[in-house]
Amino acid sequence: MFVNPFITGGDMPRNLDLTALRAFATVAECGGVTKAAGLLNLTQSAVSMQLKRLEESLGASLLDRSGRGIALTASGEQLLGFARRMLELNDEAFARLTGEDYEGEIVLGVPHDIIYPYIPPVLRRFATEFPRMQIKLLSAPTRQLREMFGRGDCDVILTTEDAPGPGGETLVQLPLVWIGAEGGSAWRQRPMPIAFCSNCIFRSGVLRRVDEANLPWRMVVESALDNAVDAAVSADLGITAAIEGGYPPQTAAIDHKGALPDPGETRIVLYMAQQGIPVAAALRDLIRSAYRAGGAGTAADPARSVMA
């Protein structure tokens, strides 16, 4: 028989401590108490006390501390889903009811190739809910955004990475595809002309896969700017790898029928500096909702393809 752990004797409801839940969720996402304490602006002992109090209130062990790191128990895994939903609802309610009291600026950093289609509606919704907040959008490569985030220059960033770093949350996992000019033939040339900017996070991994396939190639772009790559690819001077559906104008996915190696995949990862700040949490939740509603592989119009 299923026993609801949140209702005990006499069917009297008991309340979970949201502060303790936030500490638990942050520890689970960070993989340790030390990092979580820093994000929550609390001491390690305070976070540990909240975790202990939460476990005692539920009568269950939530964290497995037997190894070198911290892992979730079965009960902890189950609670984490509830905790995230409860915290999201709490932050949304607080933000909605107090949004007009917030003034200032929040900085969002996003790589140029994932701004569309989700970020514009997110910005519009955020401006509606927080009319007295200024939101500043920065577009830069993932490595640069991670550096800016580390210096405190950004409040929230999205990145494209193989795996999330400390404190990062994977929103969606998407395949990479080869793209070229619409109707182009550069991909058939040997050595194969490839265009990547020097800052591209995909560059090293994709080139490694090309080398493993024993395909000769040459780099046709030497630039730190993405628009130089877009220009070269749209002019059929070379090909590049991009997130499925996220194609620059006048380019499309190459229907190479297996003639080219799989360029791999990437994750879109979210980082938020101001844990527990309702206005930053509201922006995070809007971004989360946009990606959850869109799903994988819908970053733009994946129907376009270059015919072989």
Q: Count H helices, E strands: the chain?
A: 9, 14
| 3-state class (DSSP) for residue 186 | helix
What pLDDT is stored for residue 155 in this prediction?
Answer: 92
| 3-state class (DSSP) for residue 110 | strand
CA distance 233 to 187: 10
CATH class of 105-164+271-294: alpha beta
What pLDDT is stored for residue 219 in this prediction?
Answer: 96
For CATH 3.40.190.10, the residue range(s) in the chain are 105-164+271-294, 174-265
For CATH 1.10.10.10, the residue range(s) in the chain are 7-96
Opening angle at CA 17, ends 13 and 19, nearest 5: 160
What pLDDT is stored for residue 11 in this prediction?
Answer: 60
Q: Determine the CATH number of domain 7-96.
A: 1.10.10.10
* In contact, 183 and 254? CB cutoff 8 Å: no
What pLDDT is stored for residue 304 in this prediction?
Answer: 37
Q: Determine the CATH number of domain 174-265.
A: 3.40.190.10
pLDDT < 50 stretches in the chain: 1-3, 5-9, 296-308
CA distance 263 to 177: 6
What pLDDT is stored for residue 292 in this prediction?
Answer: 82
pTM of the model: 0.61
What pLDDT is stored for residue 252 in this prediction?
Answer: 95
What pLDDT is stored for residue 36 in this prediction?
Answer: 85
- Per-residue model confidence as pLDDT tens digits over 243-289: 998 788 899 999 999 999 999 999 999 999 866 677 888 899 999 98
CA distance 50 to 45: 9
CA distance 40 to 47: 9
